[in-house]
Amino acid sequence: MAIIQRRVFYGKVGTANDLVAWANEMYGILQINSPQLSQRIFSDYHSGQTDRVVVEFEVDNMGQIDEALEKTMSDPVTQKQFAEVFERLKPLIDRAEVEQWNIH
């Protein structure tokens, strides 16, 4: 059974474009050591809570996401890139949520 992991970022007012750029950069780093990991990025500027960005992965099991993160963090180059990009997320968002959905 496939799983979709969604990371919902609730951006500060006016940060949605920066969040989309951040997400593309961050998940590009994850794909260096895990090219099979695919993601989609959604933005919602004008409904519900504004400046919301969702990053979504579809995997066969959660171990695939764990493995991608382990590979990234065990490589000194991508570990440094990940830390630098992650630090830039903090001033862009108010909060974030993670959802795990089973596909039936």
Which pLDDT tens digit goes with each residue over 15-33?
999 999 999 999 899 999 9
pTM for the model stands at: 0.88
Sheet holding 52-59, edge to edge: 39-44, 52-59, 3-11, 93-102
Domains in the chain: ranges and CATH: 3-102 (3.30.70.100)
32/95 Cα distance (integer angstroms): 27
Which pLDDT tens digit goes with each residue over 92-103?
999 999 999 999
